[in-house]
Amino acid sequence: MATQLKNLSDFSSASEIPSAESFSFGIVVAEWNAEITNALYQGAYSTLLKYGAKPENIHSFTVPGSFELTTGADLILKNKMVDAVICLGCVIRGETRHFDFICDAVANGVTNVAVKYSKPVIFGVLTTDNQQQAIDRSGGKHGNKGDEAAVTAIKMAKLNETLIN
């Protein structure tokens, strides 16, 4: 698996990460699998602060499940002046095909919201076969996808700023 070859929190050799000081962010977090999504949120929030974001410029909200992340992101961009939205969730496969429908809906949904508002909407959603894979990617041995989502949001906000000006 690709993630096993890359730590989600290792940016030591990554391209330069811009300062987040001038940017505002929305974070929308799914309540399903809260012990995982709370860890993703802590990773994302702390990473934004690490690269200079101001607490007052980080607007955080929760939604019931990952399926609602699309609507959450849309409502944030409709009502808040932010430079990027980070969507955090954890979808763990069950016995039925419900997993597939949620994952497809969220991936396509957040992409459509990003295009609708011409703003970066980051897919920080774990889509795993079991709980252990989610634990490993929310602060475990493979790092924290929340960290990765925050860095992606900073880089995309900078790109947007560069291309607008």
Ligand X SMILES: CC(=O)[C@@H](O)COP(=O)(O)O
Judged by CB under 6 A, the residue of 32, 41, 45, 51 near ligand LW54GNZ2 is: 32
Please pick, from the candidates 17, 49, 75, 92, the single residue that binds ligand X as defined by CB under 6 A: 92
Q: Per residue in 23-46, is it b (16+ CB within 10 Å) or e — as a string?
A: bbbbbbbbebbeebbbbbbebbbe
* Dihedrals phi, psi of 21, to nearest 5 degrees: -55, -35
Residues in the chain: 165
Is 15 known as a binding-site position? no
Select 22 or 62, whichever has its Cβ closest to ligand X.
Answer: 62
Residue 95 found at the interface with ligand X (CB under 6 A):
yes
Residue 95 binding partner per list ligand X, ligand LW54GNZ2, none, with a CB distance cut-off of 5 to 8 Å that depends on partner kind: ligand X
Which residue of the set 98, 115, 118, 129 is catalytic?
Answer: 98
The tokens for 12 are 């030591």
CB 111 within 8 A of CB 145: no
What is the size of the binding site for ligand X (CB under 6 A)?
A: 8
Which residues are catalytically annotated? 98
